[in-house]
């Protein structure tokens, strides 16, 4: 299961546009991606990249929920069950000796890859769609995760390492006075990206999660210079080492909130070898764009769905909203049985996704994916003195500019916008106008005359 397989599938649906004009990876491709990902959100191929004759850039691949669901072959809440199942029952991928990514093996020259500079004050070109795989010194633990990578020169990158699993593997290598070997794979199937964005416990390989999502169709290949595995059907794989002691300034960089993240000293990655398809596709992922939000958000929605399902009888939908950066705001619709269900839902959601900042819980007659309906529920079913939960000084996201960006300390709020059960239900119901077939046919006729004008 390759990225190409998925793109072929989508091309048939017509959700693809090709940019034939010459476009530079320096601020031009990102500008086009940003404009188009706001509205129709098609997949965008840049067929003519300035300075890179043989390489096409493709962006906004998982730019809509529908496309991401299509990549996993499933819709609705079943997607959460599938993600949770994959995390609980990872399946070891098969290893292959050969694949098209071995067509070219060459010395690293990062300036030969059309890496985008996305925003005007970004520190430089950033690789944003790569899955980074690595193993512990004893090779028993494998981890796969997504990291932003700043190009420093032709052989070196700076990697942002938050204190999570890859950071832990790097610390283990450092304790043995070694650098950490990593494979940086670009151009992989969306299921691999999604698995890499999920967070099963340390010790569970996200490749196993991806392989379960792909029903056993993920193949891995061993790198040439280092003892690390990468998806065999990647478009391009950079083999490198995270230095145990060399650091470089990393950032500013626009992250999921669409604001600039701060500059920090981060570890340097030295690239030692590149393998690639001869004519590879470079996957550009626009920071703060819908693809970024959906890939990051969907595994967290699954975690919230699972946690809230344990405390209330029925969860209808979970939406980490686009306006909430796909990360900081959740809307959860539930079937409330007894008073207090909704507050338990708030508490469960906040603990299931530590970066979550604001939660709105609504009844199942409200569409969690329609911001206007959600606001209507807050307007007509919510009283702050009874329905608001506030928790101060808890750990949240360091990406939120209104929080403490060093410690991530933040204030969290939950809004219970469900109907209070003490009042009659009718009081909160949306008034309806009955629709007869006669009225329907009049409306249809009117619609036709409006559209033909
Ligand atoms: Mn992990």
Report residue 76's pLDDT band, with 50, 70 and 90 as the boundaries.
confident
Reported as a single tens digit per residue, the pLDDT across 408-434 is 899 999 999 999 999 999 999 999 999
**CA 169 – ligand 1 centroid, Å:** 10
State the CB neighbour count (10 A cutoff) for residue 423.
10
Reported as a single tens digit per residue, the pLDDT across 347-365 is 999 999 999 999 999 999 9
Where b means 16+ CB within 10 Å and e means fewer, 193-222 reads bbbbbbbbeeebbbbbbbbbbbeebbbbbe
pTM of the entire predicted model: 0.93
At 141 the pLDDT is: 98
Helix H segments across 104-185?
165-175
Smallest CA-to-CA distance from 414 within 396, 383, 391 is with 391
Radius of gyration from C-alpha coordinates of the chain: 23
Reported as a single tens digit per residue, the pLDDT across 286-331 is 999 999 999 999 999 999 999 999 999 999 999 999 999 999 999 9
**CA 187 – ligand 1 centroid, Å:** 20
**Domain extent listing, the chain:** 291-428
Residue 39 has pLDDT above 80, yes or no: no
**CA 81 – ligand 1 centroid, Å:** 19
At 406 the pLDDT is: 82
* Range 209-227 average pLDDT: 97
At 286 the pLDDT is: 97
At 14 the pLDDT is: 86
Q: How far is CA 393 from the centre of its chain?
A: 26
At 77 the pLDDT is: 85
**CA 236 – ligand 1 centroid, Å:** 22
Report helix, strand or coil for 355. coil
Tell me, yes or no, if 385 is annotated catalytic: no
From the list 255, 341, 363, 416, the catalytic residue is 255
Considering the segment(s) 291-428 as one domain, its CATH architecture is: 3-Layer(aba) Sandwich (3.40)
Residue 453 has pLDDT above 70, yes or no: no
Task: Give the rounded percent of residues in the chain with a pLDDT score beyond 90.
Answer: 93
Cβ proximity of 77 and 308 under 8 Å: no
Average pLDDT, the chain: 96
Regarding beta strands 264-276 and 104-106, do their DSSP bridges make them parallel or antiparallel, or are they unpaired? antiparallel
Smallest CA-to-CA distance from 256 within 119, 79, 58 is with 119
Report helix, strand or coil for 352. helix
What are the percentages of helix, strand and coil residues in the chain, rounded to 5?
Answer: 30, 30, 40
**CA 4 – ligand 1 centroid, Å:** 26
State the CB neighbour count (10 A cutoff) for residue 364.
15
């Amino acid at each position: 299961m390759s990225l190409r397989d998925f793109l072929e599938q989508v091309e048939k649906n017509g959700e693809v546009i090709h940019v034939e004009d010459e476009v530079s990876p320096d601020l031009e491709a990102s500008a086009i991606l940003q404009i188009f990902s706001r509205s129709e959100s098609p997949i965008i191929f840049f067929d003519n990249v300035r300075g890179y004759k043989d390489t096409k850039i493709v962006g906004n691949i998982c730019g809509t929920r529908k496309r991401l669901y299509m990549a996993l072959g499933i819709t609705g809440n079943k997607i959460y069950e599938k993600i949770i199942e994959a995390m609980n029952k990872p399946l070891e991928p098969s290893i292959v000796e050969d694949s098209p990514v071995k067509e070219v093996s060459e010395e690293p020259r990062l300036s030969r890859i059309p890496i985008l500079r996305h925003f005007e004050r970004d520190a430089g070109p950033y690789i944003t769609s790569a899955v980074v795989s690595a193993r512990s010194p004893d090779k028993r633990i494998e981890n796969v995760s997504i990291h932003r990578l700043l190009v420093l020169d032709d052989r070196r990158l700076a990697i942002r390492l938050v204190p999570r699993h890859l950071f832990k593997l790097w610390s283990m290598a450092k304790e043995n006075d070694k650098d950490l070997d990593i494979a940086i794979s670009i151009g992989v199937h969306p299921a691999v990206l999604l698995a890499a964005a999920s967070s099963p416990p340390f010790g569970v390989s996200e490749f196993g999660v991806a392989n379960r999502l792909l029903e056993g169709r993920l193949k891995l290949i061993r790198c040439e210079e280092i003892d690390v595995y990468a998806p065999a059907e990647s478009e391009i794989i950079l083999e490198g080492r995270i230095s145990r002691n060399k650091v470089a300034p990393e950032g500013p960089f626009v992250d999921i909130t669409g604001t600039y993240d701060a500059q920090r000293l981060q570890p340097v990655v030295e690239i030692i070898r590149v393998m690639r398809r001869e004519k590879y596709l470079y996957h550009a992922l626009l920071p703060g764009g819908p693809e970024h939000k959906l890939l990051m958000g969907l595994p967290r929605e699954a975690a919230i769905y699972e946690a809230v399902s344990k405390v209330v009888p029925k969860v209808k939908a979970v939406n980490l909203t686009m306006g909430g950066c796909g990360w900081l705001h959740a809307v959860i619709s539930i079937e409330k049985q007894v008073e207090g269900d909704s507050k338990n839902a708030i508490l469960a959601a906040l603990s299931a996704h530590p970066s979550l900042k604001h939660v709105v819980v609504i009844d199942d007659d409200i569409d969690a994916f329609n911001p206007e309906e959600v606001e209507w529920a807050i307007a007509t079913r919510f009283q702050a003195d009874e329905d608001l939960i506030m928790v101060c000084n808890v750990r949240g996201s360091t990406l939120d500019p209104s929080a403490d960006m060093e410690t991530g300390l933040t204030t969290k709020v939950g809004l219970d916008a469900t109907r209070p059960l003490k009042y009659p239900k009718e009081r909160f119901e949306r008034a309806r106008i009955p629709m007869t077939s006669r009225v329907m046919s009049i409306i249809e006729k009117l619609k036709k005359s409006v559209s033909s004008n």
